[in-house]
Amino acid sequence: MTNPLLATWDTPFQIAPFDRISDDDFAPALDQALADHKAKIDAIAANPEPPTFANVIEAMETPSQGLDQVLSAFFSVAAADSNPKREELQRDFSPKLAAHFSEITANKALFARVKAVWDQRDDLDLSDEQQRVLMLTHRGFVRGGAALEGEQDARMKDIKGRLATLGTEFTQNLLADERDWFMELSETDLDGLPDFVVAAARAAGEEKGAAGPVVTLSRSIITPFLQFSPRRDLREKAFNAWAARGANGGETDNRAIAAEILSLREERAGLLGYENFAAYKLETEMAKTPDAVRGLLMDVWGPAKARADADAQVLTQMMHDDGINGDLEPWDWRYYAEKRRKAEHDLDEAELKPYLQLDRMIEASFACATRLFGLEFTPLDVPLYHEDCRAWEVTRNGDHVAVFIGDYFARGSKRSGAWCSAMRQQAKFPTPQAPIVINVCNFAKGDPALLSYDDARTLFHEFGHALHQMLSNVTYESISGTSVARDFVELPSQLYEHWLEVPEVLAEFATHAETGEPMPKDMLDKVLGAATFDMGFQTVEYVASALVDLAFHDGPAPSDPMAKQTQVLESIGMPRAIIMRHATPHFAHVFAGDGYSSGYYSYMWSEVMDADAFAAFEEAGGAFDPDRAKALEDNILSTGGSRDAAELYVAFRGRLPGVDALLKGRGLAA
């Protein structure tokens, strides 16, 4: 019987046949797929014909169907619907995959052929896109260690394998801490909590098999609990558990793992001739240097800290007015900020949430894409990896564009956060293939499911990433969709968040869950008026995380990352009542893999552009200006990594942006 992961998929749009795939299929399928892929690479390296763009670069671009199918199906379920078997497989697969791809980069015969094509590039009459793919391929080999010899070459392979193992351990430790901790609540402990928080706590209790409602470490439950619970003792207990993820001692403690990861990254950069890991990592980004990153972050830090300090004084006085003396603590901030928001903006999240139904917000995100880019969304009935998932066919003018899958609800088997991934990326070579894109979020279940305003923003954010994948229109998969500089990849996602704040969008889609009535005009005005509320807090917790990440990699690797974290926070005057958004032991962006290592700043780098880019719409005909929408698609959303990121932005906007639009957008301008 053929392993379903290695068969040709006869499903609609070749979506993975999850109803026919079992966990026992993954390991043998991966072994076979890796062997097939290795044979293909070896054949390219051993080809006796003179090296050409076609028989070297395009040959490597030809997808390995088996390997692509196995990896896309496995990593989709491993991140969003894990179980002990899948966690075991992930621990086994990580070093195996690292060794496989490291072996390709270290293949001297293959690199010699890549270099031969690179050396004759001026005589090959390549298109701009082909020149870009050649440059990126050659650069990838060099940065991967292809030019290393002997002991250095062997050591690089060992480092890559060990880093892959450590990244997986970090992720699984964090998942275990998030999954295993919960705090049971008595009926009296529910006093003062809005109905939607009570409902989420009861649903979480049922999932955990508890006797009653519980608070878990899912952001969709713990954040509103910290906002609304009048029980300071319970807030403190829940907050401390949340802050301690990955740092509880025992088998799931991530602190030693973080230290080893930083040490290995430093060694890896040194082998390649870089001063430190940040210099290595940032070379290929828009920012280029650690100094440029630090400059941006500190330009924002000053105004943000000043705002947060002023806000802390207000919140402290509110707490003292409640008869609680002493200092404002991190478990107090959200509670008193929510009280203040209600008082100053007359905006109560409990009253707001019924107007932010998940289904209506999905409709809103689709409707904006229809108006901007002509996309249409039709529900699909296909087997997916979890019953919570839904799928849509995406078309334009009747032509198939993509498949979009949404997996929106929190569960114990899903890691925290939100993300977008592609089970298949767009490409035209060797044959046209349309993308299959997944948005994964962690919203609280309900009937109907209701979102906070931050949740709704997250939904739009991830759908912006999805549009970057779905509207991609390039020849080669290696530069398709979100295959761009890390500090450019967040531009489409953060830009799309702005459409949630367009008054006509909220007026149409923010309708009450029970009455169906649109959000009242005064509430709509309050929502938009409060858009920058508590922005000092939000900016401080983010920038602090980004500065710690940069400090970890811009210099010698710290032997004690926690001490280094403390040193950085003290040096910038971190407000005592705010903690990093992601403290080191649960900083998955930085330690689960190399993706955002010395790159967490990229959200803010992209925000500088997204604030400026949306201003381009406002300066033209408004949020749905057709000319600006076409320019956005033509120069950014459809182009993937086919050109330099700065060049793409200038093509859209006519210039590069400054930090002013960001400070204005966050309400931090002087």
Burial 42-66 (b: 16+ CB within 10 A, else e): eebbebeeebbbebbbbbbbebbbb
CB of 268 closer than 8 Å to CB of 277: yes
Contact, 500 vs 460, CB < 8 A?
yes
φ, ψ for residue 367, nearest 5 deg:
-65, -40
Residue 351 to residues 448, 449, 451, 452, 457, Cα–Cα distance (Å)? 15, 14, 11, 10, 18
CA separation, residue 38 to residues 27, 112, 551 (Å): 17, 17, 38
Residue 655 has pLDDT above 90, yes or no: yes
- Residue-level pLDDT at 222: 95
**Nearest CA to 463 among 489, 434, 430, 440?**
440
DSSP string for 345-389: H---HHHHGGG-BHHHHHHHHHHHHHHHH--EEEEE----SSTT-
Give the CATH class of 12-175: mainly alpha
Q: Which residues are catalytic?
A: 462
Question: Structural domain boundaries of the chain?
Answer: 12-175, 181-245, 252-347+535-600, 354-529+603-665
What six digits make up the tokens of 101?
Answer: 């791809």
Is residue 63 pLDDT above 90, yes or no?
A: no
CATH architecture of 354-529+603-665: Orthogonal Bundle (1.10)
Separation between Cα atoms, residue 211 and residue 188, nearest integer Å: 15
d(CA 257, CA 33): 30
Question: Are 61 and 429 contacting, i.e. CB atoms less than 8 angstroms apart?
Answer: yes
> Taking the mean position of all CA atoms in its chain, how far away is CA 246?
20
Query: How far, rounded to the nearest angstrom, does the alpha carbon of residue 311 sit from its chain's CA centroid?
Result: 29
Beta strands in 419-498 (DSSP E): 419-424, 436-443
Structural tokens at position 356: 């932010």
Which long-range contacts does 560-564 make (Cβ < 8 Å, 24+ apart)?
A: 560/259, 561/255, 561/258, 561/259, 561/262, 562/247, 562/255
Residue-wise pLDDT tens digits, 397-414: 999 999 999 999 999 899
Domain 252-347+535-600 CATH (choose: 3.40.50.300, 2.30.300.10, 1.10.1370.10, 3.60.110.10): 1.10.1370.10
Domain 12-175 shares a fold with domain 354-529+603-665:
yes
Count CA within 13 A, CB hemisphere, residue 151: 0
List pLDDT tens digits, range 449-458: 999 999 999 9
Report the amino acid identity of residue 574. Answer: M
Res 280 pLDDT > 90? yes
pLDDT confidence of residue 423:
96
511 DSSP β-pair partners: 518
| Res 529: pLDDT | 85
Strand, helix or coil at 518?
strand
Give the pLDDT band of residue 348 (cuts 50, 70, 90). Answer: confident
Distance in angstroms (rounded) separating the CA atoms of residues 54 and 61: 10
Q: What is the DSSP letter of 213?
A: -
pLDDT in tens, 533-556: 999 999 999 999 999 999 999 999
What average pLDDT does the segment 299-314 reach?
96
Q: Are 222 and 213 a contacting pair, CB within 8 Å?
A: no
Q: What is the pLDDT of residue 665?
A: 87
What is the band of 66 on the pLDDT scale with cuts at 50, 70, 90? confident
The pLDDT tens digits for 592-640 are: 998 899 999 999 999 999 999 999 999 998 999 999 999 999 999 999 9
Residue type, 642: S
Residues in the chain: 670
Closest Cα to residue 438, out of 452, 424, 417? 424
Q: How confident is the model at residue 65 (pLDDT cuts 50, 70, 90)?
A: confident
DSSP 394-428: EEETTEEEEEEEEEEE--TTS-SS-EEEEEE--B-
